[in-house]
Amino acid sequence: MAEGLLRHLTKGREDYEVLSAGVGAINGSPPSPHAVRALQELGIDISHQRSRMLTAELVEQADYIFAMTLGHVETITLLYPHVADKTFVLREFDDTLDVFEKDIPDPIGESYEVYLNCRDQIEQGIASMLRFLESTTPRPTAAAAATLPRSFVVGADHAGFELKEALKQHLQDAGIAVTDLGAYSAQATDYPDYAQAVARHVNRGQADLGLLVCATGVGMCMAANKVPGIRAAAVADEQVAALARSHNDANVLCLGAKFLSAEQAKRILDTFLRGRFEGGRHERRLRKLEPRTAAQLALAVVDPAVYAAVQDERRRQQQTIELIASENFTSPAVMEAQGSVLTNKYAEGYPRRRWYGGCENVDVVEQLAIDRACQLFGAEHANVQPHSGSGANMAVYFACLKPGDRILTMDLCHGGHLTHGNKVNFSGRFFEVVHYGVRKEDERIDYEQLAALARQHRPKMITVGASAYPRIINFAALGEIAREVGALLLADIAHIAGLVATGLHPSPVPHADFVTTTTHKTLRGPRGGL
């Protein structure tokens, strides 16, 4: 099945040749009926394929060898130790899987459903493997070998500014498009800023090659090589420039202005421009420089465009003061948990009462969250599943109200929230809404007006809480009003939850029937509801 799937996925690609073989396989055996049927569902015919034994000749011929299990890899490398650097588990590059999940067991003798599952696992593995190959070992085309690079991105610190300017003009005179990322003067700067900017530009494919200049070239080289996919070379003469391209496929040239004249640097640059990667044995060695697993590849290589946006957002957050009341900067630990394997798991239901299997670890995490929420707020129960504060409010409404029921809520114009009955929100469409507000003279909640409205309209629920009310809320008074008119009291404390948890604001828990909040504002947790 693996051979058929890979042939199908690389159909029309002249740079791929696909063969399959088995350790100890019998030559000439046809595929099993289940395997043929499983691939026929995808429009792939493998009925003509025949098995073959893995041989030394096949091993030597292969650029890469992909096995279904770690045991297969170990057997191959035991028989042919010299191919260890080009032998991988097929799903090694899928970072959504733990190590113990990467093996694909042989389905022989099992049911058709097992074959279907095996087929899907192989297809998943091939997809991640192809992404790995095409992001880490791009092969030069004939067209690229016949022409000079068409674009360069250049950068320098203050020490390399003058030489960078001379080399930039030299490139432009040769008809090469140049993007200059600075520095733009000889004023003191930090070289890592320019090195990584140029390296990211090359990594994203926004330029064919990069040029960096500092006092020695060494600092720029070290900083640029921190970016995945970059092969920066610090070069001091033409011979090394040629070798950096032909043997190392260098894509960023680093020069030291302190030791090179403009004319020397131009000759080095010209040699670097004309150089071509020889491939062959050098390509095998280069592969050892690049990460071998998708987990190590990271976003920068897998999707440079998204990585660039993430980095831009990181800089925006670091360089601005956040005045949006509903936002906060969470901790690296929270972001690590959010980006973990837990995100792969469906867990519909509640701890130990799931509709899915395999939830034992998710149950532990959710129960920890429940217990901590109850302890933090002194509550007798907590539901930690809402995706947002709006979802938490919706859960309360739909649990206790019917469409058309009357609710008494704080007007959005007076500091309330969209989910407190605004007409453009679901809460304003499903329920009959009466609003209370703040006094004009001091902009505080008018509890007398609120009580009068409650007695007049007899709402099924009173909602208290705000997105723009910087004053203490008297939950005790609201609890008395709700009980007087037979209404349920919902306290939405999304904006003040951190203050409530630390005792800096009175808690609604003793007075309200329901309390909702978000987890990402003053609680500084992940984005979610509670």
Average model confidence (pLDDT) for the chain? 90
Q: Residue 475: its pLDDT value, please?
A: 96
282 is annotated as an active-site residue: yes
Does residue 232 have a pLDDT over 90? yes
pLDDT tens profile 144-190: 444 567 899 999 999 999 999 999 999 999 889 999 999 999 999 99
Active site residue 201: no
Active site residue 435: no
Architecture of the domain made up of 349-516 = 3-Layer(aba) Sandwich (3.40)
Catalytic residue among 157, 249, 446, 492: 157
Q: Is 157 assigned a catalytic role?
A: yes
- Residue 295 pLDDT > 60: no
pTM: 0.53
List Cβ neighbours of 146 (8 Å cut-off, separation of 6 or more): none
Q: How confident is the model at residue 231 (pLDDT cuts 50, 70, 90)?
A: very high
Residue 96 is inside which H or E element, if any?
Answer: none
Task: Give pLDDT, residue 290.
Answer: 67
- Closest Cα partner for 397 from 265, 486, 488, 321? 488
- Domain ranges in the chain are 2-136, 145-287, 349-516
Task: Pick the catalytic residue from 118, 136, 189, 214.
Answer: 214
pLDDT of 143: 42
Class of residue 41 by CB neighbours under 10 A (exposed 0-12, middle 13-18, buried 19+)? exposed
E strands, 336-431, in order: 349-350, 353-354, 406-410
Per-residue pLDDT reduced to its tens digit, 235-251: 999 999 999 999 999 99
Q: End-to-end CA distance of the chain: give it in Å, rounded.
A: 47
CB 167 within 8 A of CB 267: no
As given in the structure block, the two tokens for residue 268 are 């080095």
Written as one string, the DSSP assignment of 455-518 is HHH--SEEEEE-SS--S---HHHHHHHHHHHT-EEEEE-TTTHHHHHTTSS--STTT-SEEE-B
- The per-residue pLDDT for 12 is 76
Burial classification of residue 145, based on how many CB atoms lie within 10 Å of its CB (0-12 exposed, 13-18 middle, 19 or more buried): exposed
CATH code assigned to 2-136: 3.40.50.2300
| For range 430-451, the mean pLDDT | 93
Same CATH fold assignment for domains 145-287 and 349-516: no
Q: Where are the beta strands (DSSP E) in 54-208?
A: 65-67, 87-89, 151-156, 177-180
* Model confidence pLDDT, tens digit, residues 354-389: 999 999 999 999 999 999 999 999 999 999 999 999
What confidence tens digit (pLDDT) does each residue in 466-504 have?
888 899 999 999 999 999 999 999 999 999 999 999 999
Q: Which of 158, 170, 247, 414 is catalytic?
A: 247
CATH homologous superfamily of 145-287 = Sugar-phosphate isomerase, RpiB/LacA/LacB (3.40.1400.10)
Question: Of 170, 137, 185, 146, which Cα lies nearest the Cα of 253?
Answer: 170
**Spatial CA neighbour of 517 closest among 380, 335, 377, 364:** 377
Closest to 378 (Cα-Cα) out of 497, 524, 526, 522:
497
Where is average pLDDT lowest: 77-86, 437-446, 447-456?
Answer: 77-86
68-98 per-position pLDDT tens digit:
998 899 899 888 888 888 899 999 888 778 7
Helix-, strand-, coil-residue percentages of the chain, each rounded to 5: 45, 10, 45
Name the pLDDT band for 412 (thresholds 50, 70, 90): confident
> Of the listed 216, 463, 518, 522, which one is catalytic?
216
